Amino acid sequence: MKRALIIIDIQNDFCLGGPMAVHEGDQTVEVANRYARTFIQNGEPVVALQDWHPADHGSFASVSGEPVYTLGELNGLAQIWWPDNGIQGSQGADFHPGLDRSLFDAVFHKGQDQDVDSYSAFFDNGHRRKTELDSWLREREITHLVVLGLATDYCVKYSVLDALELGYQVEVVKEGCRGVNLNPEDNEIAFAQMTAPRRGADIKKAGAKPAFFLPGEGRSTVDGECGSLSAG
């Protein structure tokens, strides 16, 4: 089994003080660094994702003229109108200053197409175009992904669901994720969707051992040693 750590969108715009600050988003930084150090020590790659939007991206409320966090349509797809975020080259699009970039083996951008949003690390929301991540992982014969970052109920969730559809085994580090929670239960709903038996992601809770955790098999079970919920 070859693994990679996938760190999703731990960027200034989604942390304290940003226009789309996720509650407790800053708390994912230390978790990401801890896991990244473990992966590097084990000779396993660390990959980071960045939202990287043009300044006039169609998902922005400022472009649509609609109120933020309301629902509309963009290029035939349902779209939430977001505050401006992740604008290419901006300080807000940069990684959180506490995130140790020296541990990254690769960085991939998403959301560069003006006419479609891209929550997933692998595809745009319409599955019309892929990022380069899948090819990069397959070139290195990676079969198992450990995922954390922002936000649970959007970019983490859709990245995990796409990874499972692409045939990867996936673990999600729960303590390394935080949700937008436009609705109060969105975060927990996202974890439930990712671990649905037909999908098969595993959830690591606080205290899981990043070096030695192995995915469960069969129906959902609780791994007492690692304190993590497994769904296979």
Q: Give catalytic residues, as residue numbers.
A: 9, 110, 155
- Core vs surface per residue 118-144: b (16+ CB within 10 A) or e: bbbbbbbbeeeeebebbebbeeeebeb
Q: Which helix (H) or strand (E) holds 106?
A: strand 106-110
Rg (CA), the chain: 17
Residue type, 76: G
Structure tokens at 200: 């098969």
Say which residues have a Cβ less than 8 Å from residue 24's Cβ, sequence separation at least 6: 178
Determine the distance from the C-alpha atom of residue 203 to the mean position of all C-alpha atoms in its chain, rounded to a whole number. Answer: 13
